[in-house]
Amino acid sequence: MNFINRVIGILIFFIAFILLIVLAAIPFETLSWLQAQIGEFSQWARQYQIANPLFFNLGRVALAAIAILVVIPLMIAELPRKKKEAAVTMRTEQGEIRVTADSIARRLAWRLDQLADIITVAPFVNPKGDTVNIQLDVETSPEVDVPMKTDEIMLVTREVIEQDMGLKLGKLSVNLRHADYPAAF
């Protein structure tokens, strides 16, 4: 539906663009031509109404039906919908629990931010069924021992997800970035 709406929107804007350019280039000729076309259409419609009143009224009903059955659904399709918040669903004996991805990310960021030599943490949580895939963008101080710090980050992440929150950890990736060295005076 989005594709159809985009195509229709692009066509409408393109036609409006062309009309506005023509109107700007030759305004009086364009308005005279438009007035003549409207007059001719009005005269044709009156003659058709007199000659075939039944078909004229059926055409009016068909035009209204098209407006109601085509245009209104297209307009409704363009209204924004509330997106369902990504969450992990866990099943227990007592029922079902949903933990949102935002909650997982905040808890993980808070816990990892407390580690030594970590400046900032930006977790991206992607729930997949009952597992959680996590990508961490971590900024550390420039002197950090990369293998040791990566192991520590992964261990703490696994602990938070699996032990503290009771979730299953799927794929975990860590993007480590060092902060700049302090400027020497």
How do residues 12-67 score in pLDDT, each as one tens digit?
999 999 999 999 999 999 999 999 999 999 999 999 999 999 999 999 999 999 99
Torsion angle (degrees, nearest 10) of CA 152, 155, 158, 162: -130
**Residue 124 β-bridge partners:** 135
Domain ranges of the chain: 2-78, 87-178
Region 145-152: mean pLDDT is 91
- CATH superfamily label, 87-178: Cation efflux protein, cytoplasmic domain (3.30.70.1350)
pTM: 0.56
Residue 74: C-alpha distances to residues 3, 9, 59, 70, 169 (Å): 11, 11, 22, 6, 42
